[in-house]
Amino acid sequence: MSSAGKSTRKVLHFAVGGALLGGIAPGCASRDKDIHVNEGPEPEPKFAPNPGPEELEGKQTPPEVDEHVNEGPEPEPTADTATPDDKPNADDVNPGPVDEPHPKPTAKVNPGPEPVTPTPKTVNTQKVKDPGQ
């Protein structure tokens, strides 16, 4: 492919050789293993021809991609949400005052590391000890 200038505007030249010939005949999607599912819509160049609304009418809406919404990491089970197997042994839990109607366990289940406090980017919150000292 090359282009040559005219007086003010280009003329583009496109030539197709024979390197792309061969392969499977049109209409034969024979490589079943290449037909993947749930991999999103098929790619197309941004400047490919676009169908008008009239061409879309009657077309079945393409199936929604099996999207997985990223909702962040699974929350650690808390005492309130833990399943019976996860719930702390009653022996390990300080039941609190007896007259409290719904005692909440004080022991956290798998609390993990302390939550990170959001900090302005310009603040150096962790002083590292000078290794030379």
Q: Which residues of 56-72 are buried (b: 16+ CB within 10 A; e: fewer)?
A: eeeeeeeeeeeeeeeee
Find the shortest distance in angstroms from Cβ 74 to other proteins: 12
19/128 with CB nearer other proteins: 19
- Nearest distance from C-beta of residue 46 to other proteins, angstroms: 4
User: Tell me, what DSSP letter sits at residue 81?
Assistant: T
Question: What angle is formed at CA 31 by the lines to CA 40 and CA 38, rounded to 5 degrees?
Answer: 15
Please tell me what DSSP assigns to residue 100: -
Told to check if 118 binds other proteins by CB under 8 A, we report: no
Closer of 15 and 128 to other proteins (Cβ): 15
What are the distances in angstroms from CA 84 to CA 88, 101, 103?
Answer: 9, 20, 16
Under rule CB under 8 A, residue 20 binds other proteins: yes
Is residue 90 within the footprint of other proteins (CB under 8 A)? no
- Is 97 exposed, middle or buried, given 0-12, 13-18 or 19+ CB atoms closer than 10 A? exposed
**Residue selected from 38, 89, 94, 125 as contacting other proteins according to rule CB under 8 A:** 38
- State yes or no: residue 131 binds other proteins (CB under 8 A): no
Site string for other proteins, 63-82 (x = CB under 8 A): --x-xx-x------------
Interface contacts to other proteins, rule CB under 8 A: 1, 3, 6, 9-31, 33-36, 38-53, 56, 65, 67-68, 70
